[in-house]
Amino acid sequence: MKSIEVISPGMHTSFQDLGRADYAHLGCPVAGIMDEYHAKLANTLVQNSVKEAVLEISLKGPELKFLHSALICVTGLGAEVFVNGQQKKINFAFVVKGGDVLEISRITQGNRVYFAVHGGFNVVHTLGSASHFHPLTKHLKLQKNQEIQLNKVSLEFNKLHLNAHVSVENQHYFLSEIEVEKGPEFKQYAKQLLPQLKTGEFQVSKKSNRMGIELLPALKLTSHSILTNVIQPGCVQLTPSGKLIVLMKDAQVSGGYPRVLVFPQRSMDVLSQKRVGEKLYLCFKQET
């Protein structure tokens, strides 16, 4: 079976797919890819289903040795990608040969890039998903010296002509305005919340990860706990101290803070690529 050897796993490289959407009643987070647009783009460029698992790579990437030829690509906003020391473009598919070494030395724009291989990875699925989430999965991320098995493919890579240009529509990632929607408890806080959202400039806090992204500064209002209720990725909780926390893919499935806003998936994609300290503004969708 074809495989890839992990020489170095990078800072935080994990298998992710579309997640575990049907197990919240068991207390299981959705998990899955943080930036769906670029992950789906990676699979599309190597002729996979968008449901295939990809490697989600944060800040500093891995070094991988291919033991067989493969059609691969790396997608994202910006990264330094090398094969045997020769730089490669991102958001383009290309062929590597047995013995080639891929290195993603650093991410130059955004927080994450995605790596896909034609045919997909032959990885264990738990509750219908390959997404890393410890302790549901044995590990939290890729391990050094791990051997990644690949699924069998029928393509003859040496006969591929990869000259087609694919339009990458990710310009909205570079805007500071992020679109939000009203959450279930929005009306209770609208009078104080709306003026602060219209004039407020937020930054991504250092206290941000795959579970949630905290926005600073805190709002000048006080919230009160609610009866524990269902929450899901994209919900924005308002804490008693006025902080907004955007729940991301590894978030818990219930909570007792008011859900004042909701980030649609497109906005979650963008937020996942905003770096600590980066300024952003929250706005509501224009009525048409």
> What is the C-alpha to C-alpha distance for residues 120 and 132, in angstroms, rounded to an integer?
16
* pLDDT score of 33: 98
- Residue partners of 7: CB distance under 8 A and separation at least 6: 62, 63, 64, 65, 101, 144, 145
| All structural domains of the chain with their residue ranges | 3-171, 175-284
Q: How confident is the model at residue 21 (pLDDT cuts 50, 70, 90)?
A: confident
* pLDDT score of 165: 63
With contact defined as beta carbons under 8 Å apart, do 36 and 147 qualify?
A: no
Per-residue pLDDT reduced to its tens digit, 25-41: 888 999 999 999 999 99
175-284, CATH topology level: Cyclophilin (2.40.100)
Residue 287 has pLDDT above 60, yes or no: no
Residue 154's Cβ-side half-sphere holds a number of Cα atoms within 13 Å equal to 0
Per-residue pLDDT reduced to its tens digit, 200-211: 899 999 999 999
Residue 288 has pLDDT above 50, yes or no: no
Per-residue pLDDT reduced to its tens digit, 208-258: 999 999 999 999 998 887 888 889 999 999 999 999 999 999 999 999 999
Per-residue pLDDT reduced to its tens digit, 62-81: 999 999 999 999 999 999 99
> What is the C-alpha to C-alpha distance for residues 34 and 17, in angstroms, rounded to an integer?
9
* pLDDT score of 192: 93
Per-residue pLDDT reduced to its tens digit, 130-170: 999 988 898 989 999 999 999 988 777 766 767 656 778 99
> What is the C-alpha to C-alpha distance for residues 174 and 196, in angstroms, rounded to an integer?
23
For residue 122, which of 152, 146, 95, 157 has the smallest C-alpha distance? Answer: 152
Per-residue pLDDT reduced to its tens digit, 97-130: 999 999 999 999 999 999 999 999 999 999 999 9
